[in-house]
Each structure stands twice: as C-alpha cells, then as structure tokens.
Homo-oligomer: A and B are copies of this chain.
Amino acid sequence: MNAAVSPFRIETFKVACSNCNLRELCLPVGVSDEQIERLDRLVGARRSVPRGDALFHAGDGFASLYAVRTGFFKTCVASEDGREQVTGFQMAGELLGLDGIGTERHTVDAVALEDSQVCVIPYHQLTDLSRELSDLQRQFHKIMSREIVRDHGVMLLLGSMRAEERMAAFLLNLTQRLRARGFSATDLVLRMTREEIGSYLGLKLETVSRAFSKFQDDGILEVRQRQIRILDAAALQKLVNVPSR
C-alpha cells in the first residue's frame, strides 16, 4: 500500500515511530516528540509477512500487538464447525491483535492479503510504558474503543442492510480509509477476493459479483477485475442513507 522504500534507506534510517510516515494514524497520535523516542525503543522488531501467510492464528498465545506498516490484512473467526467470518480488513497504520488481550490467546486468524510488513509491539512493554505516558495510554484506549464502535457499525450493516447497501457501505469505508492515507478516493485495487468481501458482508460471492455488475450498469462504478473506479460516490452514499426496507 505504501511507497516502496529502497533497501539503502532501510539500512540507514532507524526503524522508529519518530520517522514513520504513519505516526499520525497509528499508536503515537498525541504523543509528544520527546516521549515518542521511548516508543521507538519499545517497537523494536519488524516482521515481514508474505501474501497468504498468517501473522497469527486463532489459539496462538498472545504476546504482542502489531501495527501494519505496509500491506493489507484480513482477520477471520471460525466457529467449531466450519463456518468462517471475515471480521475486518486492516491497512497501514491499523493495529492487529487486540482480540488476544482478554484471554492471552488470539481468537482470530490474521492473514496477509499481499506481501506486508508489521511493527511488533510487545504488549507488556506497551502497558508498562503507557503507565508512564498518559498520552500513550489515552491513544491506546481510543484505538480499542474505536474498534468496538467499528464493530457496532458492522453489526448494523449485517443486521439491517440489504446486499447493495452493504456493498455501498463497504466501498465508501474503504475509500475513506484510503483517502486518509493519501491515496486516491476514486481509484482503488481490491486486495481481497469476492468471496472474502462476501464473508465480511454476510453475502455469497455471486451476490457480491452481481452487485458490482449492477453498480457498473448504473454508472456508479467501473469494475475491471479488482480494479475499481468510483464514478458516482454520491450515489453510493445515497444507497447507504436511504433505507429501502
């Protein structure tokens, strides 16, 4: 998702929040420059996750949170029987692993949808540090709270919207997050399959596909495989806001 950094720069610049272009979206929000250096020491390791690999699995012991630095992830829960549900898609600056704090074990799989890099944030060190830095504590709490609010939004979507409304809400959410990261809000490349979108939205892949075709026919989107161009964002917005049942 992010501009590639040449190997040379990787070597010379220290891996640190203080010179990370995501710091306005990530854990350091609201943390002063002097204090951010202490975060730098905490976020030591980077970890690369090739496309298709899991960063962690449900059931794995929990020790760290992960901040997406580059790339794109999905998280899935599975019930005892085979059912699977994608619970979210994470892009640069977003935190993975919050589910593991409660039970000391992860409860979801986090899978990279493209070659990705994450910053490893040892949880116990984070809590130690946030006891000293109240700005960090505050930001961490906010991130957790917003995750809860986001989940409520998905519940609303799953509980009360029809297929095309869900798709519209999904696309608007994606573009909004891409825009916040400096990408185009009209041209995007989906990192996930129709099936993964469907799982997230509680729909079958055929329904997702049909919705894309419908939107294209209506002149709202241009769809070519995973390349999407949004021609009429207002129409999408109207779909979400005007209830049809």
Name A's B-contacting residues (CB within 8 A).
77, 79-85, 87, 98-103, 107-108, 127, 130-132, 134, 137-138, 141-149, 151-156, 158-161, 199-202, 240-243
Contacts and interface: CB of A to CB of B under 8 A. Distances in A.
Contacts of A240: 79
A157 to B, nearest CB: 9
A80 B239 CA distance: 12
Contact of A77 (B108, B130, B153): B153
Contacts of A77: 152-153, 155-156
Given A99-B152, A127-B137, A148-B98, A159 B85 contact: yes
Most chain B CB neighbours (cut-off 10 Å) among A100, A155, A199, A200: A155
Contacts of A81: 241-243
Contacts of A83: 156, 160-161, 243
B156 A154 contact: no
Contacts of A130: 131, 137
25 contacts: A77-B152, A80-B241, A82-B243, A84-B160, A85-B152, A85-B159, A87-B152, A98-B145, A102-B142, A102-B146, A103-B145, A103-B146, A103-B149, A107-B149, A108-B152, A130-B131, A131-B132, A131-B137, A141-B144, A144-B145, A151-B152, A155-B155, A158-B158, A158-B202, A160-B202
Contacts of A103: 145-146, 149
A106 to B, nearest CB: 10
Given A130-B137, A159-B202, 5 more contacts: A98-B145, A101-B142, A102-B142, A102-B145, A159-B201
B242 A99 contact: no
A103 B200 CA distance: 25
Contacts of A160: 79, 83-85, 199, 202
B101 A145 contact: yes
Contact of A155 (B107, B141, B145, B154): B154
Nearest to A107: B149
